[in-house]
A and B are shown apart, each in its own frame.
Chain A
Amino acid sequence: MNNTQIVDESPVTLFGPIAIPGKQEPVSKTAQTCTDPEVLREKPVLEIEHFDLWYGTTQALFDVTMPIPSGKVTALIGPSGCGKSTLIRSVNRLNDLIDGVRYAGDMRLNGDTIYSPRVDVIELRKRMGMVFQKSNPFPMSIYENVIYSLRIDGENRKNVLDETVERCLKSAALWDEAKDRLDESALELSGGQQQRLCIARAIAADPEVLLMDEPCSALDPIATAKVEELIFSLRGEYTVLIVTHNMQQAARVSDFTAFMYLGRLLEYGPTKTLFVNPSLKQTEDYMTGRFG
């Protein structure tokens, strides 16, 4: 878990030399070669820096450097097995649970290092929210699901909890459907409602970044549309990093899109640029459905 500073070797890039106003640290080579300057102009919440990951002896991520802009929705796209899920699960260190995982490089959340033996992983995870591919409300009431993160911190004041439930369910566009049945089991909600409940639960602790791992892949089109609408409405207030295999979805919800292929970040820029005018042939081929 090194924190190596990369010395700027003033490389020649696709976009020419980059001047980043106010940015003190030299930008890495990879970031410059594949990242659009518009991304670098944004204030990052999360900075992924030269991140490598191995499952045993198989390397799954190669030198990924990627700043995630604050208050924006950033989509990770790429064919199956390209490492996008691995990357998002590395952000809150869920990959720690898998035996034989090794890393190199670092990530920083608002300047605080994520990969260091001194980091309190529990505290770190409290600063992030995560929504999974398969909706996973806990087998308890809707109310208790939303306030789970408060409960584990020992919050028991009724007014605080009530207020959080209302605020988060409203933010997750679930309040109208759920307000009269808060004490019912969350498992009685429909699939789409369950996923929105998981989003409500994830934002209850005011996360600095919201991680979404293919949140719509198990939903029908109508439920998907609602969740997408919700993700779209979260921008500004929350920073969202979303993995999706659905390119239309990336186009609809995100401000920035990153294209990954075989464990490498190939192209990263404003969603419009990436979709309309990709700079790499591989990106274009994937976008137009020629592979993937």
Chain B
Amino acid sequence: MMTLRGLREFCIEKAIFLCGVAAVVFVLLIFTFLMREGFSLFFKIPMTELLAGTHWYPISDPPRFGILPLILGSLVVTVGATVLAVPVGVASALYIAEVAPAGIRDVMKAGIEMLAAIPSVVIGFIGMVTLVPFVKRLFGLPTGLTALSGSIMLGFMAMPTIVSIAEDAIAAVPTEYKQGALALGATRWQMLYRVVLHAASPGILAAVMLGIGRVIGETMAVMMITGNAAVIPESFLAPVRTMTATIAAEMGETVKGSLHYQALFAIGIVLFSITFVVNLVADIFLHKIKR
């Protein structure tokens, strides 16, 4: 016979358990839903045509669902944003954690957190009215809505993630390492470069991966400033359309259950797979370094 106290313990334990597994359950549910809605498309359209097709004409007759331009669009913007944000972000983290005097450190940390608080639509808007005309004039382009503009603005959005996580990793490097390096006659930069960055590399890698995750999943800002032309980008100065922007822009116009609707879910599956692989690779790499 269960006592009242025993019952209470039992209920609390189960409630905590449910909350604990909820996150996992949600991921599985989302994945199942994505699969249910989009997977049947893979039977209707050959995989090669879908993934390697160079034309995305979902409402022409006959429609063509080649998502390669979209994948490349996402890739170009992500690579651009990463190349811009990672060096600046890591250097900024290094400055905040190791170089800046206490007063400046607090101001900078607060500033970076503010950057994270700016809604992406505002970033997109600011990019649209400032960066886009600037890029247009600078390169003499017909339009400033390019992959480059998107990369720069997304770089700003990835920065807070990269800086704050990398800063934590750098600040967590044991003082013993720093003193050891200095005692051996290392300059401050040699100490930072060869010992501190080295010791913090797993954390920095995690920061970079989370930054990439943020960029690849970002929708609103890229939709506003990359031009949304679903063609294979020829350079950073060409307009591109990302997978996320495509889903967001077109979902409202599709009929539930139609081929177009399923194609958008298929894009969702591809996007999910890419982020999954990015995280997996980061995880494997992190464990490798830890050992």
Does B286 sit within 8 A of A, measured CB to CB?
no
Does B176 sit within 8 A of A, measured CB to CB?
yes
**Contact between A126 and B181, CB atoms less than 8 A apart:** no
Q: With contacts A134-B176, A136-B176 known, is A125 near B182, CB below 8 A?
A: yes
CB within 8 Å of B: which of A114-128? 122-128
| A101 CB, min distance to chain B CBs, angstroms | 15
| B184 CB, min distance to chain A CBs, angstroms | 5
- A-B pair number, CB within 8 angstroms: 67
Docked Cα-Cα span, A23 to B236, in Å, equals 75
**Contact between B181 and A130, CB atoms less than 8 A apart:** no
- Mark each residue of chain B from 177 to 204: 1 if its CB lies under 8 Å from any CB of chain A, else 0: 1011111111100100011001100000
| B105 CB, min distance to chain A CBs, angstroms | 14
Q: With contacts A138-B198, A152-B194 known, is A129 near B184, CB below 8 A?
A: yes
**Contact between B183 and A138, CB atoms less than 8 A apart:** no
**Contact between A132 and B185, CB atoms less than 8 A apart:** no
Does A139 sit within 8 A of B, measured CB to CB?
yes
- Chain B interface residue bracket vs A: 10 to 19
**Contact between A152 and B176, CB atoms less than 8 A apart:** no
Does B87 sit within 8 A of A, measured CB to CB?
no
- Mark each residue of chain B from 151 to 192: 1 if its CB lies under 8 Å from any CB of chain A, else 0: 000000000000000000000001011011111111100100
The stretch that binds B, out of A2-10, A75-83, A198-206, A282-290, is A198-206
Q: Inside 8 A of B184's CB, which chain A residues have their CB?
A: 125-126, 129-130, 148-149, 152, 201-202, 205
| B175 CB, min distance to chain A CBs, angstroms | 9
Q: What is the chain B residue whose CB lies nearest that of A92?
A: B183
Does A151 sit within 8 A of B, measured CB to CB?
yes
**Residue in B176, B187, B195, B199 whose beta carbon sits within 8 Å of that of A132 in the complex:** B176
Main secondary structure on B side of the interface with A = helix
Size of A's binding interface in residues, CB under 8 A: 28
**Contact between A138 and B185, CB atoms less than 8 A apart:** no
Q: Inside 8 A of B181's CB, which chain A residues have their CB?
A: 138, 148
Docked Cα-Cα span, A128 to B180, in Å, equals 12
**Residue in B176, B180, B185, B291 whose beta carbon sits within 8 Å of that of A122 in the complex:** B185
Does A276 sit within 8 A of B, measured CB to CB?
no
Q: What is the chain A residue whose CB lies nearest that of B291?
A: A185
Does A97 sit within 8 A of B, measured CB to CB?
yes
Q: Inside 8 A of B174's CB, which chain A residues have their CB?
A: 136
**Contact between B198 and A140, CB atoms less than 8 A apart:** yes
Docked Cα-Cα span, A152 to B185, in Å, equals 8
Does A94 sit within 8 A of B, measured CB to CB?
yes
Q: What is the chain A residue whose CB lies nearest that of B193?
A: A152
Docked Cα-Cα span, A137 to B136, in Å, equals 52
Q: Inside 8 A of B198's CB, which chain A residues have their CB?
A: 138-140
**Contact between A125 and B194, CB atoms less than 8 A apart:** no
| A109 CB, min distance to chain B CBs, angstroms | 13
Q: Inside 8 A of A134's CB, which chain B residues have their CB?
A: 176
Q: Inside 8 A of B199's CB, which chain A residues have their CB?
A: 138-139
| B191 CB, min distance to chain A CBs, angstroms | 9
Docked Cα-Cα span, A198 to B180, in Å, equals 9
- Mark each residue of chain A from 201 to 235: 1 if its CB lies under 8 Å from any CB of chain B, else 0: 11001000001000000000000000000000000
Docked Cα-Cα span, A282 to B205, in Å, equals 55
Docked Cα-Cα span, A97 to B183, in Å, equals 11
**Contact between B185 and A94, CB atoms less than 8 A apart:** no
**Residue in A92, A122, A124, A151 whose beta carbon sits within 8 Å of that of B194 in the complex:** A151
| B291 CB, min distance to chain A CBs, angstroms | 8
Docked Cα-Cα span, A223 to B190, in Å, equals 31
Docked Cα-Cα span, A211 to B291, in Å, equals 31
Q: Inside 8 A of A129's CB, which chain B residues have their CB?
A: 183-184
Identify the B interface with A (CB < 8 A).
Answer: 174, 176-177, 179-187, 190, 194-195, 198-199, 291
* 25 pairs of residues in contact across A and B, judged by CB atoms under 8 Å: A94-B183, A97-B179, A97-B182, A123-B185, A125-B182, A126-B185, A127-B185, A130-B179, A130-B183, A132-B179, A136-B176, A136-B177, A138-B177, A138-B180, A138-B181, A138-B198, A140-B198, A148-B181, A149-B185, A151-B194, A152-B184, A152-B185, A185-B291, A202-B184, A211-B183
Sample of 8 further A-B pairs with CB below 8 A, known A125-B182, A148-B181: A125-B183, A129-B183, A132-B176, A134-B176, A139-B199, A148-B184, A151-B194, A202-B183
Identify the A interface with B (CB < 8 A).
Answer: 92, 94, 97, 122-130, 132, 134, 136, 138-140, 148-149, 151-152, 185, 198, 201-202, 205, 211
State the 10 A-B residue pairs at the shortest beta-carbon distance, nearest first.
A126-B185, A136-B176, A130-B183, A125-B185, A136-B180, A149-B184, A152-B190, A139-B199, A152-B186, A138-B195
